[in-house]
Homo-oligomer: A and B are copies of this chain.
Amino acid sequence: MQTPFFRPGGRGPLQLRPLTLAPNFVQTAEGSVLVSFGNTRVLTNATIEQGVPGWLRNSGRGWVTAEYAMLPRSTVTRSPRESEKGKIGGRTHEIQRLIGRSLRSVVDMHALGERTVILDCDVIQADGGTRTAAITGAAVALGIALNALVKAGTLKQSPMKQLVAATSVGIVAGTPLLDLCYEEDSQAEVDMNVVMTENGGLVETQATAEREAFSRAQLNEMIDMAEAGLKEIFAAQRAVLQTS
């Protein structure tokens, strides 16, 4: 029998960390949100540029992509800059591809037209769940940037069809937990990310056994927990978008 696991801060298994979405953290970007899940803080900035990558030229369709980086001291032990190392690591690539796919799933590319939206997600402080926080924050930054195009009369309505958000779930000491912090994540047997649209459609589910393989029953329980958490997150996103 496993020792029961007590969550740092006494959180319940189904409880999200305190979530804030601070809009307009930076004035230089078309859309900007500093998202925090507990001690995890990610600055997400949206840039809208004219034009699209080569393979979309003259298609009438737009493109949405993302870049992700961690500041060297976002972590308790300093990590070297990828610019110093001269190349981007595998983990970074994997994460920025996930963020890009997630956001593309809720944008009508024909309505966007031949524009490229870049979501820069820079981790200011890391305590687990940076990729899901980045998706959650970037969705709001994207919404703000596209709404601004509507206000400016450039577009008739926002090409963002609905919200998208993400959260993590995991199994720690045999117990499924929502929204893992770093300490929990580093001990998890299974780690899962769920990306969902506001109307409940699944965009991406990635479950990974870190120590032990998992069962279909465990997979289903984890998705149930993620869905519950994501409803709270969508509410927070909507609140910010309506007022900014």
List chain A positions with a Cβ less than 8 A from chain B.
Answer: 26-29, 32, 39, 43, 45, 47, 49, 67, 69, 71-76, 78, 81-91, 93-94, 96-97, 101, 105, 118, 120, 122, 124-126, 196-197, 199, 201-209, 212-216, 219-220, 223
In angstroms, Cα B122 to Cα A69, docked, is 12
Q: Which of B32, B96, B202, B206 contacts A215 (CB 8 A)?
A: B202
Partner of A82, one of B45, B83, B94: B83
Shortest Cβ distance from A73 into chain B, in angstroms?
A: 4
Contact across chains for B197 and A202 when beta carbons are under 8 A apart? no
Contacts A87-B87, A90-B96; A202 near B212 (Cβ below 8 A)? no
Residue contacts A-B, CB under 8 angstroms, 23 given: A27-B125, A28-B73, A28-B75, A28-B76, A32-B73, A45-B72, A47-B73, A49-B78, A71-B120, A71-B122, A72-B120, A78-B118, A93-B94, A101-B208, A105-B213, A197-B213, A201-B213, A201-B215, A202-B219, A203-B213, A204-B209, A205-B205, A220-B220
The answer to whether A89 touches B93 (Cβ under 8 A) is: yes
Copies of this chain in the oligomer: 6
A81 contact set on B, CB distance < 8 A? 67, 69, 83
The smallest C-beta distance from A200 to any residue of chain B, in angstroms, reads 8
**A205 contacts B203, C-beta separation under 8 Å:** no
Contact of A205 among B67, B118, B207 (CB under 8 A): B207
Chain B residues with Cβ below 8 Å from A91 are 93, 97
Does A26 lie within 8 Å of B74, measured CB to CB? yes
Q: Which residue of B lies closest to A209 (CB)?
A: B203
What 5 additional pairs, Cβ within 8 angstroms, besides A86-B86, A202-B219? A47-B72, A69-B81, A72-B118, A90-B96, A220-B220
User: Once bound together, how far apart are the Cα atoms of A201 and B27, in whole Å?
Assistant: 37
**B216 and A212 within 8 A (CB):** no
In the bound complex, CA of A89 to CA of B83 (Å): 10
> In the complex, which residues of chain B have a beta carbon less than 8 angstroms from the beta carbon of A74?
26, 28
Q: Which 6 A-B pairs have the closest CB atoms?
A: A201-B213, A90-B93, A82-B83, A45-B73, A83-B83, A29-B73
